[in-house]
């Protein structure tokens, strides 16, 4: 057996206890801790702290007073921990907060008033949690929010007008949820939105005016859904659109937005290569992505031919 520790070392272990992971430094402006053994939120952070990163730890709970005494805090990064709930009053002591990242926890719910005092929040990342529903109360006090990431949760719907207060939002990520439909008015209020990601859901169709509330959209991602048909004029309001991804759906026909050529990915769909589709794609073909996987399913004489080739060559009968 190993020899017993010297009496002095044993006494120090008893008096001091185990070392605290990531001890705070006085007068520091940034606190970073990625110690896997950390299980309680650090105490004694100096009031000069501007940014906190506690990530990849065993942190599972936060006290309502965890951020007390940090009036200047602007960034809070809590990704890849074990948080399954947040206290309602967590953010009240940090009204200057601009960035909150909660990626990769196990949050299934958030208190209705969690963001009530976070009027300056600009970036909110909730990716990779277990959220099942969106509460309108979360967004009522976030007029400055520019980036909202809700990807990889368990959302089944987007309630109408849930994002209405987010008049400054530029980017919204709803990818890899369980959305089977998009309610009319789901994007109401998002007049400044430039990037929308709905990839990896279960969308079978879209409302005719789905994108009318977001005419500033420049990047739209709809790949890896179940889209079979789109209502006429779906993309008509999007005169600033520059990139459209419709890959790996079940679309046979397509109506493109007016304006200049797009960065367009329509691969992995069973396209009916009629005259109308080929004429529309002829304009976009120079920027048509994944051409080798973008094939005609009909008519019979064009089956298996690359859509980009068919659109450039044209065919008899058009």
Mean pLDDT, rounded, for 83-90: 97
For residue 143, the model assigns a pLDDT of 96
* Distances 118 to 113, 123, 276 between C-alpha atoms, Å: 10, 11, 50
For residue 277, the model assigns a pLDDT of 86
* DSSP-based three-state secondary structure for 147: strand
For residue 12, the model assigns a pLDDT of 42
Between CA 210 and CA 205 the distance in angstroms is 10
For residue 113, the model assigns a pLDDT of 96
Between CA 245 and CA 281 the distance in angstroms is 14
For residue 19, the model assigns a pLDDT of 63
Say if residue 190's pLDDT is above 60.
Answer: yes
Record the tokens describing residue 178, joined without a space: 């369980």
For residue 11, the model assigns a pLDDT of 46
How many residues are there in the chain?
318
Mean pLDDT, rounded, for 198-224: 97
Between CA 102 and CA 78 the distance in angstroms is 5
Between CA 64 and CA 96 the distance in angstroms is 17
Mean pLDDT, rounded, for 197-215: 96
Per-domain boundaries in the chain: 265-317
Say if residue 188's pLDDT is above 60.
Answer: yes
Record the tokens describing residue 157, joined without a space: 């719907």
**pLDDT grade for 116, boundaries at 50, 70 and 90:** very high
Mean pLDDT, rounded, for 21-47: 94
For residue 245, the model assigns a pLDDT of 95
For residue 13, the model assigns a pLDDT of 41
Among residues of the chain, what percentage have pLDDT more than 90?
Answer: 74
For residue 306, the model assigns a pLDDT of 85
Q: pTM (2 decimals)? A: 0.90
**pLDDT grade for 318, boundaries at 50, 70 and 90:** low
Between CA 210 and CA 231 the distance in angstroms is 10
DSSP 129-159: S------GGGGTT-TT--EEE--SS------
For residue 291, the model assigns a pLDDT of 64
**pLDDT grade for 314, boundaries at 50, 70 and 90:** low
**pLDDT grade for 17, boundaries at 50, 70 and 90:** very low
Tally of CB atoms within 10 A around 86: 20
Which residue reads 């990626």 in tokens?
A: 103
* Lowest-confidence region among 17-31, 122-136, 174-188: 17-31
Query: What is the phi/psi pair of residue 312, to 5°?
Result: -80, -35
**pLDDT grade for 257, boundaries at 50, 70 and 90:** confident
For residue 168, the model assigns a pLDDT of 98
Higher pLDDT, 302 or 174: 174
Q: Are 184 and 209 in contact (CB under 8 A)?
A: yes
Opening angle at CA 313, ends 311 and 314, nearest 5: 65
């Amino acid at each position: 057996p190993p020899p017993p520790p010297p009496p002095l070392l044993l006494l120090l272990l008893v008096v001091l206890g185990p070392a605290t992971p990531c001890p705070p430094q006085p007068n520091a402006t940034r606190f970073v801790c990625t110690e896997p053994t950390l299980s309680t939120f650090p105490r004694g952070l100096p009031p000069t702290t501007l940014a906190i990163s506690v990530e990849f730890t065993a942190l599972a709970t936060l006290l309502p007073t965890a951020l007390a005494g940090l009036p200047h805090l602007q960034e809070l990064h809590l990704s890849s921990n074990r948080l399954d709930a947040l206290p309602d009053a967590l953010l009240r002591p940090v009204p200057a907060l601009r960035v909150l990242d909660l990626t990769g926890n196990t949050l299934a719910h958030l208190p209705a008033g969690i963001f009530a005092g976070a009027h300056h929040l600009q970036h909110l990342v909730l990716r990779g949690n277990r959220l099942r529903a969106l509460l309108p109360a979360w967004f009522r006090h976030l007029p400055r929010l520019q980036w909202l990431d809700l990807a990889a949760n368990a959302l089944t719907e987007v309630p109408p007008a849930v994002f209405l207060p987010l008049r400054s939002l530029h980017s919204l990520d709803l990818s890899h949820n369980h959305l089977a439909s998009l309610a009319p008015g789901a994007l109401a209020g998002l007049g400044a939105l430039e990037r929308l990601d709905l990839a990896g859901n279960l969308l079978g169709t879209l409302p005719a005016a789905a994108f009318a509330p977001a005419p500033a959209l420049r990047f739209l991602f709809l790949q890896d859904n179940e889209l079979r048909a789109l209502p006429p004029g779906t993309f008509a309001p999007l005169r600033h659109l520059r990139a459209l991804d419709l890959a790996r759906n079940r679309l046979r026909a397509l109506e493109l937005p007016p304006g200049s050529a797009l960065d367009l990915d329509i691969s992995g769909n069973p396209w009916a290569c009629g005259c109308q589709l080929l004429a529309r794609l002829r304009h976009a073909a120079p920027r048509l992505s994944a051409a080798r996987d973008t094939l005609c399913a009909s008519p019979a004489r064009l089956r298996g031919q690359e859509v980009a080739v068919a659109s450039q060559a044209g065919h008899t009968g058009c």
